[in-house]
Amino acid sequence: MNRSLDHTTSLRIAIQKSGRLTDKTIDLLHGIGIEFDNYKRNLMVKTRNFDVELLLLRDDDIPEYVQDGICDLGFVGANEVFEKNTRVNVLRGLNYGNCRLAVASPKDSALVNPSDFEGKKIATSYPFLTKRFFEDQGISIEMVEISGAVEITPQLHVADAISDLVSTGGTLKANGLVERFTILESETKLIQTQQALSEGKQQLIQKFLQRIDGYQTAKKSRYILMNAPLSSVETIKALLPSMKSPTIMPLAETEMVAIHSVIPYDQFWDVMEQLQDAGASDIVMLPIESMIA
């Protein structure tokens, strides 16, 4: 059944109502200029300045809502998208909510490599991905499907091992478990329905993506300013890891210039020391709100 609600003109976007992904998703939406409030009290929120409405859902429900066209877009972990085996288009990886679905067993256990798990009981809230992982390697396991507190099951002798989401590894450690191997690396994804969308909605999605890309690039970049002797300009230009030519402005003090550039954040500290060695001083680094190429 085609349950697409494409007769509505607003782009409908599903986000997690309350959980680990909520704050970062809201920050991203605000960061790309979408204004709204009262999201904590309502299930549906109209935005003030963009033709977008937000539907606040449990993360488990988001892939299906998007697959069925009830929502046009959704922000949800790859773990949910792939566990639900939904037919949606993954538009972007957003590099937050990062975690992995991993198999862990008690620290003194002989269950280490996938082949050790033949005939063993594995507790998980991710039965589809876990089963498929072992099946692909010709290993048959016994699945114990659990909806929460999976990490306690080996101590209760409900299972020999678990397959669960891990980020810091603290929960596994606290329960005497050791991570053995990864089934899936996960991050928050922006997904789109495969249902046909009106021209207007498609254009809105393109605009939305352009803003997200600008926001993501800005997050990874820094604006740097510095003063330098005119004689160092060529050396400094060669050091700057920027795709674009820097801006160079004369200072009141002759023989000195101000140099402005945008560089990848992860290279800032290495470059900063080299810039100092090349004669740069008063180096300032600023965050960037957004960046449209």
Q: How far is the CB of 72 from Zn ion (least distance, A)?
A: 21
Site for ligand PRT in 46-105 (CB under 6 A): 58-60, 77, 79-80, 97, 99
With binding defined as CB under 6 A, does residue 26 bind ligand PRT?
no
CA distances from 219 to 41, 263, 270 (A): 29, 11, 18
Residue whose CB is nearest to ligand PRT in the complex, by number: 77
User: With CB under 6 A as the contact rule, which of the stretches 85-93, 158-166, 214-222, 234-242 interacts with ligand PRT?
Assistant: 158-166
With binding defined as CB under 6 A, does residue 193 bind ligand PRT?
no
For Zn ion, the binding residues (CB under 5 A) are 59-60
Residue-level length of the chain: 293
Best CA proximity match to 200, nearest among 5, 33, 8, 4 = 8
Amino acid symbol at 138: G
Q: What angle do CA 281, 286, 291 make, to 5 degrees?
A: 130
- Decide which of ligand PRT, Zn ion, none touches 99; Cβ closer than 5 to 8 Å per partner kind: ligand PRT
Token output for 127? 């039965």
Backbone angles phi, psi at 27, to 5 degrees: -60, -45
Residue recorded with tokens 């600008």: 214
Decide whether 116 or 179 has the Cβ nearer to ligand PRT: 179
With binding defined as CB under 6 A, does residue 19 bind ligand PRT?
yes
- Decide which of Zn ion, ligand PRT, none touches 77; Cβ closer than 5 to 8 Å per partner kind: ligand PRT
Q: Which position among 2, 147, 168, 254 is part of the footprint of ligand PRT (CB under 6 A)?
A: 168
CA distance 185 to 194: 24
Decide whether 166 or 257 has the Cβ nearer to ligand PRT: 166
- Decide which of Zn ion, ligand PRT, none touches 242; Cβ closer than 5 to 8 Å per partner kind: none
Sheet of 247-250, strands arranged across: 247-250, 256-264, 221-229, 281-287
**Residue 153 contacts by C-beta under 8 Å, 6 or more apart in sequence?**
123, 144, 146, 159, 162
- Decide which of ligand PRT, Zn ion, none touches 79; Cβ closer than 5 to 8 Å per partner kind: ligand PRT
Decide whether 88 or 99 has the Cβ nearer to ligand PRT: 99
Decide whether 171 or 194 has the Cβ nearer to ligand PRT: 171
Token output for 52? 């977008």
Token output for 153? 């099951």
Q: How far is the CB of 123 from ligand PRT (least distance, A)?
A: 12
Decide whether 10 or 171 has the Cβ nearer to ligand PRT: 171
CA distance 23 to 212: 16
Interface contacts to ligand PRT, rule CB under 6 A: 16, 19-21, 58-60, 77, 79-80, 97, 99, 164-171, 186
